[in-house]
Structure 1
Amino acid sequence: MDLLGWAIAAFVISVIAGLLGFSGVARGAATVAKVLFGLFLLIALVLLILVVLGISIL
């Protein structure tokens, strides 16, 4: 399973965990989902800044 697959799985588990009240394993899944969200948000912001500045990374 690639990274995107794991991210989607964590997202689905975290949504289910949110519906069930963040208890037990659900709390751990929500933590993983929050970390992934923060990581992807940081990467998106860095890429946006690079695009605005006209810097190519490829």
Structure 2
Amino acid sequence: MLGPTDPLWVKVRVLTDDGSPATQVPLQGGYFELTLPSALFLGNPKSLTLQWIDFYRG
């Protein structure tokens, strides 16, 4: 299991429409901000694919 000190850890922030931190999920508007670690870009990949499962909305 990955943890915050792992080089492949993806930081996720949950934000409201105005960019402030959200206080609850599911969001009634807003977005998730992902910060991808530099380790994902080692070897200069041609592409990256992200798959997301929305447990709250199916």
Q: Tell me, yes or no, whether TM beats 0.5.
A: no
Question: TM-score category by the smaller chain?
Answer: under 0.3
Q: Give the structure with the higher percent strand.
A: 2
Q: Give the structure with the higher percent helix.
A: 1
Q: Give the TM-score taking structure 2 as reference length.
A: 0.25
Q: Give the TM-score taking structure 1 as reference length.
A: 0.25
Give the structure, 1 or 2, with the largest relative contact order (CA under 8 Å, sep 6 or more): 2
